[in-house]
Amino acid sequence: MLARALLVIPPLLLVAGWSLLIANAGRGPDDAWAGGHLVLFVANAMWVPAMLAIIRLMRSGRDDGRRSPRFGLFALGLVIFGSVYVAGQLAVDLVAWALALDAAQLRELFAAMRARPVLLALFYLVGPPLLFAGLLIGAMLLQRLGGRARAGGRTVAACLVVVLVGALSTFSLVTLAGYVAVLAGFALVATTIDATDLS
């Protein structure tokens, strides 16, 4: 039961967080905006236990591929580092809310951040791609399990690309649609997990 929840909770929270942000679009960093970012913050952190659940699932005896443990640990490393960088980006947004910046001041803050090469690289150019690369590898590993897990893994992998396109192009509705599909893919994988798989 826990393993199923670990796979479904991160994309479910991301759908909820993005829905809050889209509903609040154009109002600046108010309390609803901060609430959406807090939900995204928790969702981002939950990718690490989700990746651990995928690794445990691969080691449960249902996958005989010798490379899975190494690829799984590599993916976990990418997810950890990517999550840290994305958490930094979300933390900056929450600081802007705590300082009660208006929409114009928020745009100035983001412009100033993007003008700093190190911050631009870590929070925008490196962080999200690392996280998505780790999740993509995890989704590809799920395909080794066959059946519905393979279909779910393929769905997750394809839709993570959609999410990344939306995130890098700031198309919020594309990102939200991608996360809805990622949720559907992980839900499909979760239905294949037996109680003994992660014991």
Question: What is the rounded distance in angstroms from the CA atom of residue 128 to the CA atom of residue 134?
Answer: 10
DSSP conformational letter for 1:
-
> 13 lies in a domain?
yes
| Number of domains forming the structure of the chain | 1
> 11 lies in a domain?
yes
Nearest to 189 by CA among 69, 73, 39, 56: 56
What residue numbers bound the domain in which 94 lies?
2-190
What does the pLDDT read at residue 11?
94
> 170 lies in a domain?
yes
B/e letters for 162-181, b = 16+ CB within 10 Å, e = fewer, are: bbbebbeeeeeebbbbbbbb
> 16 lies in a domain?
yes
Angle at which helices 127-142 and 147-169 pack, to 10 degrees? Answer: 170
Mean residue pLDDT of the chain comes to 83
How much is the average pLDDT of 163-168? 76
More confident of the two residues 60 and 143: 143
Nearest to 36 by CA among 49, 50, 22: 22
Question: What is the rounded distance in angstroms from the CA atom of residue 22 to the CA atom of residue 47?
Answer: 22
Reported pTM: 0.83
Residue-wise pLDDT for 125-153, tens only, equals 788 889 989 999 998 888 877 788 888 88
In this structure, is the dihedral angle defined by the CA atoms of residues 194, 80, 130 and 37, taken in order, positive or negative?
A: positive
> 199 lies in a domain?
no
Residue-wise pLDDT for 73-97, tens only, equals 999 999 999 999 889 888 888 887 8
> 197 lies in a domain?
no
Give the pLDDT band of residue 192 (cuts 50, 70, 90).
confident
